[in-house]
Amino acid sequence: MANENMTNIALVEGTPPQSANTYAGGTDTVVAIDTKLLTTTPATGGTVTLTRVPVDAIITSIQLAFDDLGTSAPADLGFYEGGSAGATAVDSDAIATAIAMGTAQTTLAEYRFEAADHSTATQRAWELAGLSARPSYGNFDLVLTFGTVSGGAVGDVTFKLEYVI
């Protein structure tokens, strides 16, 4: 088999040579982590805004852990326009679909590649959200949106997000 170079190596070895971090998204890694006790039970169509992420970020990891939030409590994880309560969904299940939050998951589990496969690893958040061009606003909210909930229960939700800017 002939040698093949990944994009960053091809950039560095190209003519003219380019900085690998130009393609990789920069050199600043941001980690956001938080835990919150949901004080009201999840309801069908309800949302939990986890954090805000720049539209140009390259998301490398999104992990969740949670208590049992009901008999049935499926939730999608995706992007909303950042900046205001009740904002418009851009792609409400861009990251994950129907996460079974009715069964406790007490250790952090990875969801970054649940809905989008490994070929999206270097996509900016706006590309991951399915947009054809960078939006004029600068941030997305990362939001859990509950599907049809039955027997909802209060409990803790923890997330850990890592991205490169």
User: For position 85, what pLDDT does the model report?
Assistant: 54
pLDDT above 70 covers what percent of the chain?
Answer: 90
- The CATH number linked to 38 is 2.60.120
Number of domains in the chain: 1
Q: Please, which pLDDT band fits residue 53 given cuts at 50, 70 and 90? A: very high
Does any domain span residue 17?
no
User: For position 19, what pLDDT does the model report?
Assistant: 72
Q: Which residues contact 117 (CB under 8 A, 6 or more apart)?
A: none
Q: Minimal CA–CA distance to 140: which of 73, 56, 70, 22?
A: 56
Whole-angstrom distance, CA of residue 52 vs CA of residue 139: 6
Q: Please, which pLDDT band fits residue 13 given cuts at 50, 70 and 90? A: confident
Q: Minimal CA–CA distance to 66: which of 115, 98, 99, 30?
A: 99
User: For position 161, what pLDDT does the model report?
Assistant: 97
User: For position 12, what pLDDT does the model report?
Assistant: 73
User: For position 82, what pLDDT does the model report?
Assistant: 78
Residue 49 pLDDT more than 90? yes
Domain enclosing residue 33, as ranges: 26-164
User: For position 1, what pLDDT does the model report?
Assistant: 67
Does any domain span residue 108?
yes
Residue 3 pLDDT more than 90? no
Whole-angstrom distance, CA of residue 146 vs CA of residue 9: 42
User: For position 15, what pLDDT does the model report?
Assistant: 86
Does any domain span residue 8?
no
